[in-house]
Amino acid sequence: MLASNIDMLTKALYFQQRRECTNLELAPVNFEQMIETINPGLKGFFNSMPEAIIPKERSAYSISEAKKSIVGLCYLIASLRNKFVNQHKLEVGLYLRASGATWEAIDTMSSLGYSACAKTVDIYQKKIQKEHSAKIGNYFLEYNNFHVYNIDDYHSIHENRRPDTVSTSTANHFTTWVAKLIIECPSVPLVSNGKLQGRIVSNNSNNFDPIELLTIHSYADNIEERKEERSIKGLQLLGFKKQNLHSVQDYVTLYMRTLPALRSSFPQQIEPFLSILGPLHVSLNSREQNSHEMAGQKSKTKLLKNLDEHAKTLIQIFLKYENNSVKEGKPDQVEDMNIIEGNKEIGLKMVLHFNMGLFINDPLYKHDNGEKKVNWKITRILQELKRAEKMNIKWAVLYLGTKLDRERKDVIENINYILKKIQEKGLDTGILLENSASTNCFGSSLADLMDILNSIDQELRYRNKNKTKKRIAICWDTQHYWAAGQGKSVHEYHNTLEMYGHEIMLAHTNNNPQEAIFGRGMDKHAHILDPTATLTQDVFKAIMKHKE
């Protein structure tokens, strides 16, 4: 009986692979339906295997997961009876190849019966590549409908982390090209007589509110209704390539290359604006979406409006480096110029946040072959200050770094050195010391930051003799305050503002998500109107009402 069932199973899977040319079916329920449809004599066969293999004492979840393994076992059994039923082995081989396995490793898995041999996998991979273009062409012939074309960045950080002085992990980036089928809409020619169709792309740039178009509104009521459209079901992968997409300019350049007809219709005057389009978009989106979610709560909406009046033209930026390496890369001067030119039109007040890793807790000097040199982080900080000056940025936020195996005197010496260089070069950009989320870092309390300010050269601290213009001050992050074990009551915020408000030049008004436990140093932010977050609205009202 078993031999007869295995013979029927093998023939069914051979038919599925070689005659129907369909993909693997790995879902247990669908697999059972497939083999029973091909050969009704297999009815009940698949269900008998879990009953024979899986102990009944296991939980329902364990049984469900084990059934998935039994599907793979069925493919392996069939491949032992007929070597041409090898689709499952080919897919395993492709996975091994994509994971970086050597030919020898794949051949070892093949000898164990789990994979096709390396040569067969290589031939299969080349066949897939060769047939891909034809497959895509046939797809669009079959589905003669409107498609939404999208280019996006996909990145994976699921790998061993290798922390160094400037990063905690590395990520693999590649660009994906996908098309989403819109069933209700027939196809529309994108290009006719060498020109873009006006129905799709309009050059009318005068009849819209630019801020409104940059804002993504909250469509929460429509999410369930449009669930099918938002899913990846029916998404057609057109291709992918190892490539980084880190800015709006990167996306625009790639779209131009993919769809040359767009070049003649793309307003050249907006190109300089692209580099700050992304951050502005995120800022507007954050305020707009959360205001919709809290529309029925008048006090919160009023708070948001008050914040908006203070911060609607304020944006914080990071500076880019070529090859995305803060330590080794050269400053991205093209990106800097894009920001400068783009901001001439909209006049945002920009605040610089020094790149992560640029801490000031190392000794100022290091000795290299007997030569005394300023450490690279301080050199980079001064370089970013010069770049910020060209962008008319008045303040730059600095993170002090860990106290572990570090000396406080080095922090003071580094700050004095930076301020002295600012003074010597006549830079208008000042320094804001941000409070840390962890008590293992310098500046975890405003009292500690104040002590640092009082410890530096007081002549460097101010720009004038009357001490009315500061060269260095404090940036207060409300979430960091909570994470470092402060601010459980509104009273503490009032006291902090009364004691240190005259030194706080910038407030990062962030709420604290529920998962960030009080005093544990967890640097995780939530929106100030998040109803599940920890800090009450009274905290933010206190900040907004404070006289300074």
Both 138 and 239 in one domain: the answer is: yes
Q: Please state the rounded mean pLDDT for residues 458-473.
A: 92
Domain range for 78 is 2-126
Both 303 and 379 in one domain: the answer is: yes
Report strand pairing: 365-368 vs 371-374: antiparallel
Residue 286 has a pLDDT of 45
Q: Please state the rounded mean pLDDT for residues 286-291.
A: 44
Is residue 319 in some structural domain? Answer: no
Both 49 and 119 in one domain: the answer is: yes
Domain boundary among 270, 304, 323: 270
Both 395 and 264 in one domain: the answer is: no
Both 415 and 529 in one domain: the answer is: yes
Domain boundary among 73, 108, 126: 126
Judge whether residue 161 has pLDDT over 60. Answer: no
Both 114 and 232 in one domain: the answer is: no
* pLDDT digits 0-9 by tens, 371-395: 889 999 999 999 999 999 999 999 9
Judge whether residue 181 has pLDDT over 90. Answer: no
C-alpha 52/C-alpha 406 separation (Å) is 63
Residue 505 has a pLDDT of 92
Tokens representing residue 79 in the block: 């491949």
Is residue 412 in some structural domain? Answer: yes
Both 248 and 353 in one domain: the answer is: no
Region of poorest pLDDT, from 105-114, 222-231, 276-285, 312-321: 276-285
C-alpha 143/C-alpha 221 separation (Å) is 30
CB within 8 A of 87, min separation 6: which ones? 13, 17, 24, 75
Q: Which of 137, 262, 144, 260 is nearest to 200 (CA)?
A: 262
Both 468 and 530 in one domain: the answer is: yes
Is residue 289 in some structural domain? Answer: no
Q: Residue 459: which CATH number?
A: 3.20.20.150
Both 355 and 467 in one domain: the answer is: yes
Is residue 514 in some structural domain? Answer: yes
C-alpha 477/C-alpha 521 separation (Å) is 13
Both 25 and 92 in one domain: the answer is: yes
Number of domains within the chain: 3
C-alpha 523/C-alpha 433 separation (Å) is 16
The answer to whether 424 and 467 are in contact (CB under 8 A) is no
The answer to whether 352 and 427 are in contact (CB under 8 A) is no
C-alpha 186/C-alpha 374 separation (Å) is 64
Is residue 323 in some structural domain? Answer: no
CA 548 to chain centre: 35
Residue 187 has a pLDDT of 67
Task: Provide the whole-model pTM.
Answer: 0.51
Q: Please state the rounded mean pLDDT for residues 204-230.
A: 50
C-alpha 436/C-alpha 445 separation (Å) is 7
Is residue 239 in some structural domain? Answer: yes
Is residue 517 in some structural domain? Answer: yes
Residue 214 has a pLDDT of 44
Both 82 and 149 in one domain: the answer is: no
Question: Which of 272-281, 430-439, 513-522 has the highest mean predicted lDDT (pLDDT)?
Answer: 430-439
CB within 8 A of 91, min separation 6: which ones? 24
Which has the higher per-residue pLDDT, 376 or 175?
376
Burial class (CB in 10 A: 0-12, 13-18, 19+), 368: exposed
Is residue 411 in some structural domain? Answer: yes
